[in-house]
Chain A
Amino acid sequence: MDWLILAVLAGFFAVIWFRISGTLNYKWQWDRIPNYILRWDEEDGRWVANLLLQGLITTIRISIYASVLALILGTILGIARCAENLAIRMLARTYLEFLRNIPPVVVIFIFYFFLSEQIVAAFNIEGWARGIAKQEGNGIWEFFFGDMRRFPSMISGVMVLALFESAFVGEIVRAGIQSIPRGQREAARSIGMSWLDEMRFIVLPQAMRKVIPPMSNQFISLVKDSSIISLISVQELTYKTVELVSSTRMIFEAWLTTAALYFILCFGLSLLFRRLERVPQR
């Protein structure tokens, strides 16, 4: 089945290719693309990542951190949506409706200017990151966050993306919590468990197991949605592609390569999640 899907896609791209080269008189320069993925550094005498691969790595980093943050925020939000307290429930509901009914691009600008900018400024993250960037031996920092001079923009990107996705994760978690039979919570309470223990040991473990499929979907969406944060100058794959196109004019090659990179990443993830879901469940 997977191979059939790939074959159909390949056929589709072949047709488009034919149209472009036939009618637009476009000069293809595919041979230059690999150089923008990996570049041979003459001075150091080793391969280094160029624009596209740098972007891809940043996209992966941001997606991982944003997923973790979105999962935490979303879980809190999901619990709040099921709270007995009306005020908490309304607050969570408002947050959710706000995010669900405004286009993502608008949400992301609002979060960026009103929230993450303020946080970055308030905690002087910029100065702190520059300090680390100047130090020798900041290898661990670079491994996790890339170039530390870009750390503030990256952290805003992660926050914005996580806040945006948390609303949807929250809805998934809520559905999971509500699918747990009432008797489970009553049994937990009747042996004297506190609310927190009841959530932690009885409700959430069961709820999370039930929502693995929609949750993996949401994380694949998150990877794709991460392209939106190029608008706030986070140097991830889409941003780097725009940069590449404006400097080389290789419109089709660059965007097709980027599309392929996103595809490989997301399709790989969905294969991985599908395998994980097949692990026997109780």
Chain B
Amino acid sequence: MNPGASSIIELTGVSKYFGPFKALDDINLSVMTGERVVVCGPSGSGKSTMIRCINRLEEHDEGRIVVDGIELGEDTQNIRAVRQDVGMVFQQFNLFPHLTVLENLTIGPIRVRKMDKARAEALARQYLDRVHIPEQADKYPAQLSGGQQQRVAIARSLCMEPRIMLFDEPTSALDPEMINEVLDVMVELAGTGMTMVVVTHEMGFARKVADRMVFMEAGRMVEVAPPAKFFSSPDSDRARLFLDQILEH
């Protein structure tokens, strides 16, 4: 990471309520261009809510979120502009079941970027190559395995040529034998210098690619540290307890 890099995602004092429940509590985070941040923590700690706020799938109630120089607010044009620059990969893939793999990949470029069909398809095939499934272009999502579906979902986001990729527990819904094929694609993506914010429990992946670890609990950011320090000697007891629990086996 070069020292002159500017922050591309800036969260300042962000809070979010679900009714009386405080899901996010005064979150401050700034992510540099090209930085890879891995967010972990027990379930219900607000990890997913936080990254969903970054492309406004959830609305924050307090504080400011600035993505790529655009502040997220009520303005729908701003929100759409941000979403075009921010790719999102979901736990449940969320591919469009009525469209083929190729159509899943081209619908964004064609409808949102107004690209012509031939160019969009060329782009889509290029990204299918990148996720190692060029031969599945004409199948429907239901005909693919979970790992393949998630790789298609990653390719779909990449087709919008985003500057930031968000991953919301991308491997949690997968069978164990398929986790690695998805993580491999993500490691390769990290190698291209993409800015990534990843919510995951895959600590091997985190160790390999993360520039910074964020540990959350009860809507708060409890600890932020480089992975080397985070895994060997975390400052907070909670983080230590959490690591003990998930690294036990």
Cβ-defined contact, B96 with A184, below 8 A: yes
Q: How far is the CA of A183 from the CA of B84 in the complex (A)?
A: 17
Min CB gap B48→A, angstroms: 12
Partner of A190, one of B83, B92, B98, B140: B83
Q: Given A201-B111, A282-B140, verify A192-B94 contact (CB < 8 Å).
A: no
Q: How far is the CA of A47 from the CA of B246 in the complex (A)?
A: 86
Q: Given A186-B90, A201-B107, A282-B140, verify A193-B98 contact (CB < 8 Å).
A: no
Cβ-defined contact, A205 with B98, below 8 A: yes
Contacts of B142 in A (CB 8 A): 282
Within 8 A of A (CB), among B11-61: 55, 57
Min CB gap A192→B, angstroms: 4
Q: Given A191-B112, A192-B108, verify A183-B97 contact (CB < 8 Å).
A: no
Q: How far is the CA of A197 from the CA of B153 in the complex (A)?
A: 19
Confirm or deny: A230 has a beta carbon within 8 angstroms of a beta carbon on chain B: no
Cβ-defined contact, B108 with A191, below 8 A: yes
Confirm or deny: B147 has a beta carbon within 8 angstroms of a beta carbon on chain A: no
Beyond the given A188-B96, A192-B81, A282-B97, could you list 14 further A-B residue pairs with CB under 8 A, ordered by the A residue number? A183-B94, A186-B88, A187-B90, A190-B57, A191-B84, A191-B108, A191-B112, A192-B80, A192-B83, A192-B108, A193-B108, A206-B96, A209-B98, A282-B98
| Interface positions of A (Cβ within 8 A of B) | 181, 183-184, 186-194, 197, 201-202, 205-206, 209, 282
Q: Given A183-B90, A186-B57, A282-B142, verify A202-B108 contact (CB < 8 Å).
A: no
Q: How far is the CA of A205 from the CA of B99 in the complex (A)?
A: 10
Cβ-defined contact, B87 with A190, below 8 A: yes
Q: How far is the CA of A186 from the CA of B108 in the complex (A)?
A: 13
Which chain B residue shows the least CB distance to A184? B94
Q: How far is the CA of A192 from the CA of B78 in the complex (A)?
A: 10
Cβ-defined contact, B96 with A202, below 8 A: yes
Contacts of B107 in A (CB 8 A): 191, 201
Confirm or deny: B200 has a beta carbon within 8 angstroms of a beta carbon on chain A: no
Contacts of A189 in B (CB 8 A): 57, 83
Give the total number of A-B pairs whose CB atoms are below 8 A apart: 62
Cβ-defined contact, A190 with B111, below 8 A: no
| Interface positions of B (Cβ within 8 A of A) | 55, 57, 80-81, 83-84, 86-88, 90, 92, 94-98, 107-108, 111-112, 140, 142, 153, 156-157, 160
Contacts of A186 in B (CB 8 A): 57, 88, 90, 94
Q: How far is the CA of A206 from the CA of B55 in the complex (A)?
A: 25
Cβ-defined contact, B94 with A187, below 8 A: yes
Cβ-defined contact, A190 with B88, below 8 A: yes
Contacts of B83 in A (CB 8 A): 189-192
Contacts of A192 in B (CB 8 A): 80-81, 83-84, 108, 112, 160
Contacts of B57 in A (CB 8 A): 186, 189-190
Cβ-defined contact, B140 with A197, below 8 A: no
Q: How far is the CA of A188 from the CA of B92 in the complex (A)?
A: 14
Contacts of A193 in B (CB 8 A): 108, 111-112
Q: How far is the CA of A81 from the CA of B94 in the complex (A)?
A: 24
Which chain B residue shows the least CB distance to A195? B76
Q: How far is the CA of A121 from the CA of B193 in the complex (A)?
A: 68
Cβ-defined contact, A206 with B98, below 8 A: yes
Min CB gap B157→A, angstroms: 7
Which chain A residue shows the least CB distance to B77? A194
- Can you report 5 A-B residue pairs in the complex whose CB atoms are below 8 A from each other? A183-B90, A183-B92, A186-B90, A190-B83, A209-B98
Min CB gap B83→A, angstroms: 4
